[in-house]
Amino acid sequence: MSNARLVPPESVADLTAAVLRGDYGPDPAGLHAVGAFWVRQSTQFPGTDTKYRNHYLVLRVDAGFGGCCVEREQLHPDVAEELSGRNLAELLTDARVPVRVAALDAYLSLTRPHLQQREARTLWLPHGTPLQRAKARDEAIAGLLHIQPGQRVGLIGVVNPLVAAIQAHGGVCLPCDFNLARTQDGTEVARDMRPVLAQADLVIATGMTLSNGSFDEILATLRARGVPLVVYAQTGSAIVPRFLGHGVAAVSAEPFPFSQFSADPTPIHLYRAPDYDGARAAA
């Protein structure tokens, strides 16, 4: 089915309903989660005192993988044993948001693979150490940004190299995160995203906004304000590009297996809406 025939989704629920109708390909009831994985991982780079703690639900459906990063207590680790063997129609209507997100991501990774999307530019992260690969990934994300000096840039989900990239371009970083009190350079981190969304001239968000349910609010708020949204997505890497040009200005999509799980070259897929340029992003 051609992407051009599809009505752009207004929300994640809208996109899910379209998938359940068969608008994006085969009936989800005929596809099954053959594999379900629960991954608990932490990262701390030498010379820093910041420890990133991540918990992932990953579903495999045929040749597709769907990934969702969750908060520590959001899902019980036994969920991986529970979900394998179930069909995607069931999982897409599960009561738990992360399960629905992982299922939707798996379905779209299968029916809309990044390598077949004409809007995507694929960049292979180099073989190297975790720090070398993380820097290459963050530089690629920073390359999607059009930051003007003095521009207020909301950062929903703090990654310290992106704080530095915003500041290096002369932007004013407005960080927001549930799990950090301050950035590495000492900037205070807000917990409530709403004041950040109200002030920002540009917003960068993590795909984890899908798993905590805030993505739709971010999307609607910034659409109403006409403010560009750039998303760096491990969670929902196949979901977020479906909103490109309809609330999302650019995406760095990193499908499973994520860069931190390998030293070998792995791809990230960079999307930019045609109308996203420096003029639009200017304050």
* Residue, of 29 and 51, whose pLDDT is higher: 29
Provide the pLDDT confidence category of residue 280 given band limits of 50, 70 and 90: very low
What's the mean pLDDT when you consider all of the chain? 91
> Cβ distance 103 to 33 under 8 Å?
yes
Say if domain 116-281 classifies as CATH 3.40.50.11590.
Answer: yes
> Cβ distance 248 to 240 under 8 Å?
yes
> Cβ distance 107 to 60 under 8 Å?
no
Provide the pLDDT confidence category of residue 1 given band limits of 50, 70 and 90: very low
pTM for the model: 0.92
Count the Cβ atoms, other than its own, within 10 Å of residue 247.
Answer: 25
Range(s) within the chain of domains with CATH label 3.30.390: 3-112
3-state SS, one letter per residue, for the chain: CCHHHCCCCCCHHHHHHHHHHCCCCCCHHHCECCEEEEEEEEECCCCCCCCEEEEEEEEEECCEEEEEEECCCCCCCCHHHHHCCCEHHHHHCCCCHHHHHHHHHHHHHHHCCHHHCCCEEEEEECCCCHHHHHHHHHHHHHCCCCCCCCCEEEEECCCHHHHHHHHHCCCEEEEECCCCCECCCCCECECCHHHHHHHCCEEEEECHHHHCCCHHHHHHHHHHHCCCEEEEECCCCCCHHHHECCCECEEEECCCCCHHHCCCCEEEEEEECCCCCHHHHCC
pLDDT reported for residue 277 = 66
The pLDDT tens digits for 130-139 are 888 888 988 8
Token pair 């720090």 in the structure block, residue = 131
Query: CB neighbours of 8 closer than 8 A, spacing ≥ 6?
Result: 242, 243, 245, 246
* Bridge-based pairing state of the strands 64-70 and 250-253: unpaired
- Give CA–CA dist 21/86, Å, rounded: 18
Domain 3-112 CATH class label: alpha beta
- Give CA–CA dist 66/63, Å, rounded: 10
pLDDT reported for residue 53 = 85
Provide the token pair at 232.
């760096």
> Cβ distance 268 to 254 under 8 Å?
yes
Closest CA to 249 of 202, 200, 195: 202
- The mean-pLDDT minimum among 37-41, 60-64, 111-115, 140-144 falls in 140-144
Region of 23 please: left (phi>0), alpha (psi -120 to 50) or beta: alpha
> In this model, does residue 161 exceed pLDDT 90?
no
pLDDT reported for residue 122 = 96
* Bridge-based pairing state of the strands 172-176 and 202-206: unpaired
Range(s) within the chain of domains with CATH label 3.40.50.11590: 116-281
Closest CA to 6 of 17, 16, 18: 18
Token pair 């995203």 in the structure block, residue = 193
> In this model, does residue 279 exceed pLDDT 70?
no
- Give CA–CA dist 135/267, Å, rounded: 14
The pLDDT tens digits for 43-99 are 888 887 778 788 999 999 999 999 999 988 899 989 999 999 999 999 999 999 999
Question: Across residues 232-239, what is the average pLDDT?
Answer: 97
What percent of the chain has a predicted confidence (pLDDT) above 70?
Answer: 96
